[in-house]
Chains A and B, each alone.
Chain A
Amino acid sequence: MTNANRQSPWRTELDDLMRGVAGAFLFGAPFLYTMEVWWKGNFTSPPRMLLVLGIAYAALVLLDLRGGFRTEHSRTWLRVFTDSLEALAIALLTATLSLILIGVVRFDTGLEATMGRIITEALPFSIGVGIANNVLQNRDENNAGTDGSRKDTSKHQWHDHAWRGTLADAGATTLGAVIVAACIAPTDEIPMIASTLSSSWLLAIIASSLLISYIIVFEANFGAQTKRRSQPGLFQSPISETLASYLIALLVSFLMLSIFQLLRAEDPLSQWVSYTIVLGLPATIGGAAGRLAL
């Protein structure tokens, strides 16, 4: 909290917003890959949409009392209310972008269905934003806790050997990626999403996977710690960690898809590539969550 006061207010704000985005994806990713959630949006009436928005807002207000997405806790009711509005906006924005990314919201989708899908999907994303602070605590704060000594040593490794730190996290990444990818791999969503995407969209998914993973890694390790972040050498660490964890996520996705026979030896290469990339998105988010859980 004191750190936050020292850094530029724009950076603090960006940090806070990114923490919200990270939380949204951590909690929302499994819901994003559930077609029933999109389908519910197809026949959600406008009054029900408003109800869902109201429920999301009420949940955010309650969550903001104990968590929220800002480092600095909202101290007045007015702040709680406005912060929750912002949280809801973050949820809607991330839900919209990710639905566009996986091709569920397109130009030929009717307005009512588009709004229905976005708002339904925004509900789990909202909860993610609301618990962002609880999940994405700075390691500094953790150090004050009971298991502080272990975190301390891993932090020193960060300083000296960025790659060693990354490799140390590889196990956690694999575990997290397996947990998420195993749940999603056997479902119909993967072929369904992959079949609608062109190769340029696949590139967009790769870029987004990296970006989301980077945001999560960044907010977890470096949130509100400008000092460390502004050092050029250490700035590299989150990037290498992101790349390494994405590669692990792709590998795990590929294995899971093979295990569940969505990918077989006789399938074309394009299918291997597209399925793996599509599953790679939630897997890399799971991997990031895995590192946070450790």
Chain B
Amino acid sequence: MIRKKSKTSVTPRTKAEWVSMIISIVLLAGVVGVVIALWSSPSKEPARFRIDRRAIRNEVGHYYLPITVTNEGGATGAQVTVEGRLRGSGNEQASATTFDFIPAHSSVEGVLIFDTEPTSAELRVVSYQQP
């Protein structure tokens, strides 16, 4: 029935080759699936930042205020500059830091340093770039 294959014809796939092919296809399908899912739910919303404070630590006369900046929007923010202002007795203190990139739904960490206890510091993102 089946014609005898010539020497140059295809050798049948071995079991091992089947296994690796199936695993590969599953992995690829997963990757493509995730990308398509991201595509189909496009978040047109711009970058939006949330700043969380963590425990302040005191280092020889300076107060270190660690912050976590989370981008809750759907677009990446570049050169995200966070500024902290502290209105104390008469004088005002400011401290700022810039993050290279905060992709959508990602968070990064940084530290703002003040001379006085910064619990009441006002934190905000003052600027960012759209890459």
Task: Tell me which residues across on chain A come within 8 A of B14, comparing CB atoms.
Answer: 9, 12-13
Cross-chain contact of A75 among B10, B16, B17, B31 (Cβ < 8 A): B10
Query: Is B126's beta carbon under 8 Å from chain A?
Result: no
B104, A113: Cβ atoms closer than 8 Å: yes
Say yes or no for B66: interface residue by CB 8 A criterion. no
- Write out the residue numbers on chain B whose beta carbons fall within 8 Å of the beta carbon of A39: 100-101, 131
Interface presence of A110 (CB below 8 A): yes
- List 11 additional contacts besides A42-B101, A89-B27; criterion CB under 8 Å: A9-B17, A45-B39, A50-B35, A75-B8, A75-B9, A76-B10, A89-B25, A93-B27, A108-B107, A112-B38, A113-B106
Chain B residues lying within 8 Å of A119, measured Cβ to Cβ, are 31, 35
Query: B26: shortest Cβ distance to chain A, in Å?
Result: 9
CB distance from B67 to the nearest CB of A (A): 14
Taking CB atoms, residues of chain A closer than 8 Å to B36 are 46, 50
A10, A43, A90, A92 pick with most chain B CB within 10 angstroms: A43
A-B contact pairs, 27 of them (CB 8 A): A9-B15, A9-B17, A12-B14, A13-B19, A43-B75, A43-B76, A43-B103, A46-B35, A49-B35, A50-B32, A50-B35, A53-B32, A75-B8, A85-B21, A85-B25, A89-B23, A89-B25, A92-B27, A109-B103, A110-B71, A111-B105, A113-B76, A113-B103, A113-B104, A115-B31, A115-B35, A116-B103
Contact pick for B21, options A9, A46, A86, CB 8 Å: A86
In which size bucket is the chain B interface? 35 or more
Chain A residues touching B, range:
35 or more
Cβ of B20 within 8 Å of any chain A Cβ, yes or no, is yes
User: CB distance B103 to A112 under 8 Å?
Assistant: yes
Complex CA distance for A118 and B106, rounded to whole angstroms: 15
CB of A89 within 8 A of CB of B28, answer: yes
Interface status of A17 (Cβ within 8 A of chain B): yes
Chain A 8-30, CB-CB to B under 8 Å as 1, else 0, gives 01101110010000000000000
Chain A residues with a Cβ under 8 A of chain B: 9-10, 12-14, 17, 39, 42-43, 45-47, 49-50, 53, 72, 75-76, 79, 82, 85-86, 88-90, 92-93, 108-113, 115-116, 118-119
- Are the CB atoms of A42 and B105 closer together than 8 Å? no
Assembled-state Cα–Cα distance A113/B101 (Å): 10
Q: How far is the CB of A59 from chain B (nearest CB, A)?
A: 15
Q: Is the pair B16, A9 in contact by a Cβ cutoff of 8 Å?
A: yes
**In the complex where A17-B20, A112-B103 touch, is A42 in contact with B10 (Cβ < 8 A)?**
no
Q: Which residues of B, 20-78, contact A by the 8 Å Cβ criterion?
A: 20-21, 23-25, 27-28, 31-32, 34-36, 38-39, 42, 71, 75-76
